[in-house]
């Protein structure tokens, strides 16, 4: 049966209808919510065009493909913020995977793209138990991830102690904001903490507005910690069907010495369990050594250790990168050589 291609740029209405139907019917995680896709597009300051498309058969979507195209000073790439893009998701039909990957290559050729960077959602591990990208000339750039069991939440003893320390102090309180009590001004406080925590504006305001839209649509929850009725920390979680993602966190640096996020995550796990969520992707990779396209600093390594204090399991976050330019490939390799550093490592000239 011939397939129809619905390009987002050609038919926004039908594209949105089919995309949302596919996500809901196949119970995809929040990574593939159309609001999250728009969040990612708003994140990019180098976006040239969006070549996203849907494949449909007999008026039913069988594949969703997110294809943003960016351009830096010299090269075009299928990336977001010059990094990895959620990989296509498709039904288990004969030749469908190969056809989708071939279509991506064709679009890359038409758009003169020099590099494609894709990542497979670890929450879709049942459908994609291995990195299928390597079957199509992608280099494996996978990292270690961590999925939490939301139905049987557990914590290390030190994490439980940290939770109890905050719980036992009456000056602290938890505030949970979702679709039922959404408040834009509180969300703006969370945004301000992002800037305060980083010491700079890290991303456009439009990205936070897309987050608030996810919350209003019932696909997100913002868990805040207060001290004497003043917010001091937030973590934002997205969820769809029985899957969730620990999306982002921000706090007042004046309270960095306190265990702020143990109780926030514990409360979030209880909330997500009550909303039928089974697994949560902790977001931040747990790889603690330099890898291709990933160079964790001390803060990222500490976050990785913190996240494993909650009951879950290690998984591979499958990443793949494909080059159509030898010059760009060599430039990325040179950048890796420059950044790769371990104890007792000496660069020989």
**What CATH number corresponds to the domain at position 240?**
3.40.630.30
Domain assignment present for 346: no
Domain assignment present for 242: yes
pLDDT of residue 14: 97
Residues 201 and 279 in one domain: yes
Residues 136 and 155 in one domain: no
**Beta-bridge mates of residue 233:** 225, 251
Residues in the chain: 349
Domain assignment present for 153: yes
- CA distance linking residue 206 with residue 234, whole number of Å: 19
Domain assignment present for 50: yes
Residues 68 and 160 in one domain: no
Residues 36 and 169 in one domain: no
Residues 265 and 283 in one domain: yes
Q: How many domains does the chain have?
A: 2
Domain assignment present for 88: yes
Domain assignment present for 102: yes
- CA distance linking residue 217 with residue 233, whole number of Å: 23
Going by C-alpha positions, the residue among 99, 40, 91 that lies closest to residue 67 is 40
pTM of the model: 0.93
pLDDT of residue 199: 77
The token pair at 302 is 């500490």
Residues 121 and 158 in one domain: no
Residues 137 and 71 in one domain: yes
Radius of gyration of the chain (CA): 21
Residues 304 and 325 in one domain: no
Residues 116 and 172 in one domain: no
Check if the beta carbon of residue 89 is closer than 8 Å to that of residue 64: yes
pLDDT of residue 228: 94
Angle at 144 between CA 240 and CA 190, to 5 degrees: 50
Residues 114 and 255 in one domain: no
* Coil/strand/helix, residue 51: coil
The token pair at 225 is 């910690």
Domain that holds residue 34: 4-142+319-339
Tens digit of pLDDT per residue, the chain (349 long)? 567 999 999 999 999 999 999 999 999 999 999 999 999 999 999 999 999 999 999 999 999 999 999 999 999 999 999 999 999 999 988 899 999 999 999 999 999 999 999 999 999 999 999 999 999 999 999 999 999 999 988 888 888 898 899 999 999 999 999 999 999 999 999 999 988 877 788 899 999 999 999 999 999 999 999 999 999 999 999 999 999 999 899 999 888 888 899 999 999 999 999 999 999 998 878 777 788 888 877 777 777 777 877 888 999 999 999 999 999 999 999 999 888 877 666 655 5
Residues 286 and 323 in one domain: no
Residues 105 and 216 in one domain: no
Look-up of token digits 């039909």: 93
Secondary structure (DSSP) of 204-239: -HHHHHHHHHHHHTTSEEEEEEEETTEEEEEEEEEE
Domain assignment present for 344: no
Domain assignment present for 347: no
The token pair at 234 is 């937030």
- CA distance linking residue 207 with residue 43, whole number of Å: 6
């Amino acid at each position: 049966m011939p397939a129809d291609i619905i390009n987002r740029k050609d038919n926004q209405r039908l594209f949105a209808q089919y995309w949302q139907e596919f996500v809901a019917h196949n119970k995809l995680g929040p990574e593939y919510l159309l609001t999250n896709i728009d969040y990612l597009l708003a994140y990019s300051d180098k976006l040239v065009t969006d070549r996203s498309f849907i494949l449909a058969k007999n008026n039913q979507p069988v594949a969703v493909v997110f294809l943003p195209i960016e351009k830096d000073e010299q090269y075009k790439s299928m990336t977001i913020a010059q990094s990895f893009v959620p990989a296509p998701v498709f039904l288990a039909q004969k030749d469908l995977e190969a056809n989708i990957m071939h279509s991506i290559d064709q679009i890359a050729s038409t758009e003169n793209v020099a590099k494609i960077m894709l990542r497979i959602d670890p929450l879709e591990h049942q459908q994609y138990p291995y990195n299928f990208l390597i079957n199509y000339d992608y280099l494996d750039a996978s990292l270690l991830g961590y999925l939490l069991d939301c139905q049987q939440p557990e914590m290390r003893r030190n994490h439980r102690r940290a939770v109890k320390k905050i719980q036992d102090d009456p000056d602290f309180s938890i505030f949970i904001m979702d679709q039922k009590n959404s408040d834009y001004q509180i969300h703006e406080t969370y945004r301000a903490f992002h800037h305060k925590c980083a010491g700079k504006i890290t991303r456009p305001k439009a990205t936070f507005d897309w987050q608030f839209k996810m919350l209003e649509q019932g696909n997100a929850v913002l868990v805040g910690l207060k001290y004497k009725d003043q917010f001091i920390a937030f973590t934002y979680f997205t969820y769809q069907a029985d899957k969730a993602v620990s999306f982002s966190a921000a706090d007042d640096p004046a309270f960095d010495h306190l265990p702020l996020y143990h109780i926030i995550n514990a409360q979030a796990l209880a909330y997500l369990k009550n909303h039928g969520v089974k697994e949560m992707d902790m977001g931040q990779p747990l790889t603690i050594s330099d890898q291709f396209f990933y160079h964790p600093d001390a803060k990222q390594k500490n976050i990785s250790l913190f996240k494993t204090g909650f009951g879950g399991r290690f998984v591979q976050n499958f990443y793949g990168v494909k080059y159509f330019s030898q010059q760009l490939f060599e430039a990325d390799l040179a950048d890796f050589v420059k950044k790769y550093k371990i104890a007792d490592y000496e660069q020989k000239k």
